[in-house]
Structure 1
């Protein structure tokens, strides 16, 4: 089967975007394999946007694209504009090596999954902070004062942590120290790629609460990538759902949770065991998401979708405005409300208010 790449770049705009992504694609194998396919979205200044999808959906590749850090030999195309508080917009993909180095950490910082792999095991935490500050020509003394404050904000004892080597800290402490390191240069945007995936549930929730506090104190914008929909629902202002390297739904978090329009999003909600529904009501998603080298024509979800029709098998759906700033890339989004009930809602909540959906 061959892959179709004719999805329009329509998107849901925000009033004050700090990052604008337009038609971002990443290809391998001389352009024959897409691992990010025509993604367009806005990240609003001061918001937390949660990006959700199964493993292999393209979430992490989107994060790498935002920093023009796609691993070789991947080819990144499209436009990614950064709008600082002051000054002209910057096309990240047009920056030279030195300007790109300055943008990373200073303007847009990233926290990866698994803090242990992000730290040099032969260096103390203090050395990590000092080297980061020196590499960006920052005043080390002032920067270390910020480091102390950030570590305290994350409920860590600064002197102990800074004098430790990574292996001397627990997983939760390492992850919080990595968050502090990512913020020491006072970036505007924090991109978090599955930052709590290796931690237990209690530590995940704890770090989410701390992130919410940091966002308010430091006026941060966050992009939070995860496969765990309920986890990000507790934190994010908006949610973007990805499937098979494409963005398929986006909207306010409450809107997505209660009125998801794409059949995949509704299936994802119904397969998640820790929303509000009893475990016995959870419904696994049948089948598997496609691999980059074996993408179906049309809507990539159609082989797993109970609502798929001939049009879905041959055409890539554009984004349809469902309500307000809620968009869904599905031909049959209206039918999904009746055909795929959300098990975490009671009967009264399942009804779609008259006139609220276009």
Structure 2
């Protein structure tokens, strides 16, 4: 199909956004470099969005930006709008401290990396739930009832978990207890930053299936941050690929898995071990992603890209329509199908590869 260049807002807009991110940028040095570089994307109400990229690509900074929780002295710019169902839109970056405190956990909640670092080791799990409920002036007995239901949804024994200290639980149990804690105030949006990174592959898959069930039961909107593209492909409705603090490709999950158009996305698919491909077929991505203070000119991926041309070295590419609701920021996306072939059977069924369009 013939494609046109388009803007990020056109590529990423949705019919019923619950969160709109426009030109979000984070700097620690007054704009000389960025750890989130002018990202625009909508989060559709009720969807699961997978945000994928290597370590240091800006994924966690994007997650923190959704809650205006960028660590000091970082400065977050742009516009982030939360649209609760039936209420007026909320400008997240214009909230007072008390308003922002209410937004976090009550409207938009987050599961951070490493459950073992999220719990106070001197307090039983029950106390974590009680203190969270009290901090938000919620009814504690009612909240504990809800916590017990959530723990059961996550295939845990509520009384055992609530009366245990964190160190008495396995890593998988801690992670599921943390997910229950993040949902106890009934938020609309759940942001998960590498929630399964410290777990073995089978436990990762198990938690993903449980998250899918939770999303359906509680009508949640989820953002799942990960470096593991094949893992999140089993869960997400759409995927957004980040490289060097920018979004470089976004589309429906099946279209990304089967017809990834950016050379980096295709290389990422080839480099990630998964249950459907032998290790012998995995291909590491040569080179390293750039640091914020040493960004190359033009397309940030060009020093590692086999398709890089002079245009790539000098000009930042616009987004191109690859398919409906699938955009790629690459001048040579058509050639990528032949030049960067996919070498594995995808986790959604069928053979990945893509074809020239």
Q: TM-score scaled by structure 2? A: 0.94
2: distance between equivalents of 1:297 and 1:156?
51
Cα displacement (A) at 1:30:
2.4
Aligned to 1:51: 51
C-alpha offsets along residues 291-341 of structure 1, whole Å, 9 cap, x if unaligned?
Answer: 111000110000000111111111111111111000001111111112111
Partner of 1:322: 322
Q: Which residue of 2 aligns with 1:86?
A: 86
Q: Which aligned pairs between 1:126-141 and structure 2 lie closer than 5 A?
A: 126-141=126-141
Q: Contact between 1:18 and 1:84, CA under 8 Å: does it hold in 2?
A: yes
- 1:343-354 correspondence runs (5 A): 343-344=343-344, 350=353, 352=355
**Residue 199 of structure 2: aligned partner:** 199
Q: CA deviation at 1:271?
A: 1.2
| Residues 115, 174 of structure 2: 8 Å contact kept | yes
- Counterpart contact for 2:273–2:279, Cα < 8 Å: yes
Using a 3 Å threshold, how does the CA distance of structure 1 residues 345 and 146 change in structure 2: closer, same or farther?
closer
- Preserved contact between residue 107 and residue 188 of structure 1 (Cα < 8 Å): yes
Equivalent residue of 1:78, what SS?
strand
Q: Does the 8 Å contact 1:258/1:345 carry over to 2?
A: no
- Alignment: residue pair count: 348
- Partner Cα distance (2:200, 2:341) in 1: 30
Quick one: structure 1 residues 292 and 155, their matched pair in 2 at CA, closer, same or farther if it must change by over 3 Å?
A: same
Residue 280 of structure 1: how far off its partner (Å) = 2.2
CA distance in 1, matches of 2:30, 2:81: 25
What residue number does 1:114 align with? 114
Instruction: Establish whether residue 276 from structure 1 lines up as the match of residue 276 from structure 2.
Output: yes
- Which whole-Å deviations, capped at 9, do the CAs of 1:31-56 have from their partners, x for residues lacking one? 21210001111111111000000000
The answer to whether the 8 Å contact 2:259/2:352 transfers is no
Q: Report what 1:151 is aligned to.
A: 151
Q: Match of 1:235, SS?
A: coil
Q: 8 Å contact 1:302–1:312 — kept in the other structure?
A: yes
Which residue number corresponds to residue 304 of structure 1? Answer: 304
2:259·2:354 contact (CA, 8 Å) conserved in 1? no
Q: Which residue of 1 aligns with 2:184?
A: 184
2:67 corresponding residue in structure 1: 67
| Structure 2: distance between partners of 1:224 and 1:84 | 20
1:3 alignment partner in structure 2: none
Q: Deviations over 1:52-87 (max 9, x none)?
A: 000000000000000000001111000111010121
Say what the alpha-carbon RMSD is for the aligned residues.
1.7
Q: CA shift at 1:348, angstroms?
A: 8.1
- Taking the aligned partners of 1:121 and 1:193, their CA distance within structure 2 comes to 21
Q: Which residue number in structure 2 is paired with residue 102 of structure 1?
A: 102
Deviates more, 1:94-103 or 1:22-31: 22-31
Equivalence for 2:227 = 227
Cα distance in 2 between the residues matched to 1:228 and 1:149: 30
1:225 positional shift: 0.2
Q: Distance in 2 between matches of 1:209 and 1:273?
A: 19
Q: Could you state the TM-score of these two structures normalised by the residue count of structure 1?
A: 0.94
Long gaps (5+) in structure 1: 1-6
Matched, 1:264 2:264: yes
Larger mean CA deviation between 161-170 and 246-255 belongs to: 161-170
TM-superposition CA deviations, 1:184-226 (whole Å, max 9, x none): 0000000000001011111111111100000011000000000
Name the SS for the 2:109 alignment partner.
strand
Taking the aligned partners of 1:351 and 1:141, their CA distance within structure 2 comes to: 53
Q: Displacement, 1:276?
A: 3.5
Q: Indicate if the aligned counterparts of 1:275 and 1:344 stay in contact, CA closer than 8 A.
A: no
In the TM superposition, residue 352 of structure 1 has moved relative to its aligned partner by 2.6
Contact kept, 8 Å, 1:9 with 1:38, in 2: the verdict is no
Measured in 2, the distance between the counterparts of 1:9 and 1:156 equals 42
3-state SS of 1:167 partner: helix
Output the CA distance in 1 between the equivalents of 2:181 and 2:277: 38
